[in-house]
Structure 1
Amino acid sequence: GVQGGHFAVHTFLTGVKAQEARGLPDGGISLDQRAAEHVGSQTRFPVLNVGSPDGLHGGCQISWTRTGTRVPPIPGPRELYRALFIEDDAEARRQAMERLRLRASILDAVRDESRALQRRLSQADSKKLDEYFDAIRDVETQLSLSRKWQNVPKPKPPFPEPQNQGLAKDLPMMYDLIALALQTDSTRVATLEVGGSFVARDIGIQQGYHNLSHHGHLPEKIKLLVQIERYQVEQFSRFLDKLKSLEDPRGGTLLEHTMVLFGSGMGNGNSHRNDNLPIVLAGGGFRHGEHRAYPSDPHHKVPLCKLYVSMLRQFGIDTDRFGPVTGTLPNWEVTG
């Protein structure tokens, strides 16, 4: 498994460190971005990444492109609400289209110059340039989608614009907005990272979240840490209830058609271990209702990426690998 304490947490959805991903077929792409490649062209937002850009070790860093570029998150409910529901006026749309045209022209010029340069490069440098071309293609795809949706009306705002109050207080609203994004088919893929900017004081706990995670086995610290994590799990449970209450156009509930993954890239914050991770998977057509404990000894560990392969296949992607791992999670059944 991946090790590295806080810095290995950034590999939660990739399964591999950036410097080790270069030789892999899909690079260091994260699970959300891989899923978005499959369905992203069908919605306004190929993927919604939500979470604080600030905090411990650089803020949210769980979403990555094939070329190893971090995807910055939408920082709060106000910005997410505006992206989902607030229309630009005619002048703002005109300026946006002009920016798209200018970016496309710049990309054309960069591509032409890069191709001329490629003929004079060594094999190693040529490979790096290929990665650069991949990044250009990613931007071109984004430009194409932006043009496509520029004049398509957004859903009507369901309630007044929320204000940002800090990650801890904002958590219920961000879950609600993600549920609305899925319900309105504004996106089919989303991430929400609760990182180091979670202020425990905002839920009545007077010690810092990070400090409590290094509890040193002190009961008084563990008690407070449990309160924080109970709050976070309660908001996740509330999100599942919300999805279960919403009808899906294909029949059944939105939860039945949505795979919801909840977990952490660190199994033990006190010792900075990145194995034995706590993972919950709900919805999405899998047969649930059991707790599985996998071997923890080094010779029989089960990589989390095997679950990701199972999820991608359930999402309609014909693949037998993700990151450095091949094969699905054994005995993982789907309903019907």
Structure 2
Amino acid sequence: MRQSTLQRRGLLRAAGVSISLPFLASMKGTTSASTVQPSKQRMVCIGNMLGFYPGAFWPSGNQADGKSSLSQDGWEDRTDFQWGRTTECLEPLRDQLTMISGLDHGLKGGHFAIHAFLSGVRQIDAKSMPMANVTIDQYAAEFIAGQTRFPTLTIGSESGIHQGCQLSWTRSGTRVPPIPGPHELFEKLFIGNDAASREADLDRVRMQSSILDLVRDSANDLNRNLNRRDKDKLDEYMTSVRDVEKRIALRRNWIDVPKPKPPFDQPSDRNMVEDLPLLYDLIALALQTDATRIATLEIGGDFNPNDLGVSGGYHGLSHHGQRSENIEKLVTLETYQVEQFARFVDKIAQSTDENGSLLEQTTVLFGSGMGNANSHTNSNLPVILAWGGLRHGRHLAFDVRSKNRPPLTNLFVSMLQNFGLEADQFATSTGTLRGLA
């Protein structure tokens, strides 16, 4: 049986496709060192569009025994901190999490800069950057292109403020349209196994490829009559077209590969409050079945307080004006979001594959591109990190007044290296993030 399994894997690998079986406890003792599959690093990034109320999110201070170490570089490694009111639900996971304060991208713009959370670069500034405003998830996906059915899963609502979900951006600076809810995400992961569905997918790929062929031919004809400036603009456009071509080619390779069987009936989209736990569950399933190794989730302005029994609008409550009643309502909303994040971390910690716990093979970033929505600031961004193998139970506190304070993109370089990339720079970074090891 083991020899047959190895032969099947060899055939799939030769065809340019790699499919991982789920971990089977009954077969644990039959796997020799030579057949153990290498660990598959995964990455999940969760962004909140409106940030968190700083007075309840950040730790309330160190305990009296003073277990902290002041670095000459302007940061502290605090091990005996007390969580804030919003984050105290993370206490049972203390040994699996690191909180990081004092970091940001050095940007201004309020709501119009939050889309730079995972890139470090605003879209309007991207033309001066060599990689535009590509986000860390899309950058990492290029490294493992073709190894999973979905290079990434981008999830978030298109409703709410400021044109909906803007968490993920490609190398060419194009926004990645999100999967809007659990109904659509479930369908993407589990529906479409029958022959008719596969043939329909193939027809779509053929049609899209034909359209792109026509676009390329028309662009070549047009290019002959353009001045230099217009040629540059057309080249930017064609870069986006080439990105689409690559995604279509990768999708074609997976059409004939069966999807996993649905674990439950297809859900309906309800509202972001009720859907959030299910979205996290589906992301965990996507990681466990190796449908993808990279996912992003944005919690947007359509997160309705009324669905938690709280009156008012989320956007309005985030601009609380220091009114205690509004702050308490906002803390209720934000606590729920952190609770669902904690539930997700615990879930993937309990989930396993042939290499052990999923959490041990996953980097999870939770935070926001908004530091304080009430004052429209993008500084001191809220960041919580789960990272298999990292020493946790810490609050890395960087001094926001220090001239030596690193940019948040330094953390992204560290995350990319942990993912397996030989990267020493990402966007505005100056190196890896000190203090993590």
Give your verdict on TM over 0.5.
Answer: yes
Bigger drift between 315-324 and 223-232 goes to 315-324
Match of 2:19 in 1: none
**Partners of 1:324 and 1:18 in 2: CA distance:** 14
- How far residue 143 of structure 1 moved from its aligned partner, in angstroms, is 1.0
Match of 1:102 in 2: 207
**Partners of 1:35 and 1:210 in 2: CA distance:** 32
Match of 1:209 in 2: 314
C-alpha contact (below 8 Å) 1:295/1:302 kept by paired residues: no
Aligned: 1:172 with 2:281? no
Matched residue SS, 2:384: strand
1:78 to 174, 183, 186: 183
Match of 1:257 in 2: 361
Matched residue SS, 2:293: coil
Letter in 2 for 1:320: D
Letter in 2 for 1:169: E
Letter in 1 for 2:369: G
2:243 to 129, 138, 148: 138
Bigger drift between 138-147 and 320-329 goes to 320-329
- How far residue 210 of structure 1 moved from its aligned partner, in angstroms, is 1.4
User: For residues 270-281 of structure 1, what are the structure 2 equivalents within 5 Å?
Assistant: 270-281=374-385
Aligned: 1:323 with 2:427? yes
- How far residue 171 of structure 1 moved from its aligned partner, in angstroms, is 0.5
- How far residue 328 of structure 1 moved from its aligned partner, in angstroms, is 1.2
C-alpha contact (below 8 Å) 2:119/2:133 kept by paired residues: yes
- How far residue 108 of structure 1 moved from its aligned partner, in angstroms, is 2.2
**Partners of 1:53 and 1:186 in 2: CA distance:** 23
Q: How big is each residue's C-alpha offset from its partner over 1:23-81, in whole Å with a ceiling of 9 and x where there is no partner? A: 32211111111111111311111100111111111111111111111111111111111
- Give the structure with the larger strand fraction: 2
**Where do 5+ consecutive residues of structure 2 fail to align?**
1-105
Q: How big is each residue's C-alpha offset from its partner over 1:3-40, in whole Å with a ceiling of 9 and x where there is no partner? A: 10111111111111112112322111111111111113
C-alpha contact (below 8 Å) 2:406/2:430 kept by paired residues: no
C-alpha contact (below 8 Å) 2:413/2:426 kept by paired residues: yes
2:372 to 253, 265, 268: 268
**Partners of 1:316 and 1:125 in 2: CA distance:** 39
Matched residue SS, 1:325: coil
Match of 2:229 in 1: 124
Letter in 2 for 1:324: T
**Partners of 1:60 and 1:316 in 2: CA distance:** 28
**Partners of 1:122 and 1:284 in 2: CA distance:** 52
**Where do 5+ consecutive residues of structure 1 fail to align?**
none
Matched residue SS, 2:398: coil
**Partners of 1:324 and 1:113 in 2: CA distance:** 36
- How far residue 88 of structure 1 moved from its aligned partner, in angstroms, is 4.9
**Partners of 1:81 and 1:167 in 2: CA distance:** 15
Aligned: 1:191 with 2:296? yes
Q: How big is each residue's C-alpha offset from its partner over 1:97-137, in whole Å with a ceiling of 9 and x where there is no partner? A: 12211221222232233234435443333332322222122
* Structure whose CA Rg is larger: 2
Bigger drift between 278-287 and 172-181 goes to 278-287
Match of 2:110 in 1: 5
Identity %: 55
**Partners of 2:229 and 2:125 in 1: CA distance:** 16
C-alpha contact (below 8 Å) 1:40/1:187 kept by paired residues: no
C-alpha contact (below 8 Å) 1:77/1:162 kept by paired residues: yes
**Partners of 2:128 and 2:235 in 1: CA distance:** 13
Matched residue SS, 2:169: coil
**Partners of 2:428 and 2:230 in 1: CA distance:** 24
**Partners of 1:81 and 1:92 in 2: CA distance:** 15
Matched residue SS, 2:396: coil
Letter in 1 for 2:136: L
**Partners of 1:286 and 1:14 in 2: CA distance:** 23
1:282 to 377, 386, 392: 386
Bigger relative contact order, structure 1 or 2, given CA contacts below 8 A and separation 6+?
2
Match of 1:313 in 2: 417
- How far residue 301 of structure 1 moved from its aligned partner, in angstroms, is 3.7
1:303 to 407, 412, 415: 407
Q: TM-score with structure 1 length normalisation?
A: 0.94
C-alpha contact (below 8 Å) 1:40/1:47 kept by paired residues: no
Bigger drift between 137-146 and 268-277 goes to 137-146
**Partners of 2:133 and 2:346 in 1: CA distance:** 33
Match of 1:221 in 2: 326
**Partners of 2:187 and 2:271 in 1: CA distance:** 17
Q: TM-score with structure 2 length normalisation?
A: 0.73
Distance 1:124 1:286, change over 3 A: farther
- How far residue 217 of structure 1 moved from its aligned partner, in angstroms, is 1.3
1:162 to 267, 270, 283: 267
**Partners of 1:321 and 1:122 in 2: CA distance:** 34
Distance 1:53 1:109, change over 3 A: same
Q: How big is each residue's C-alpha offset from its partner over 1:298-326, in whole Å with a ceiling of 9 and x where there is no partner? A: 73443111111110111111122112323
C-alpha contact (below 8 Å) 1:5/1:274 kept by paired residues: yes
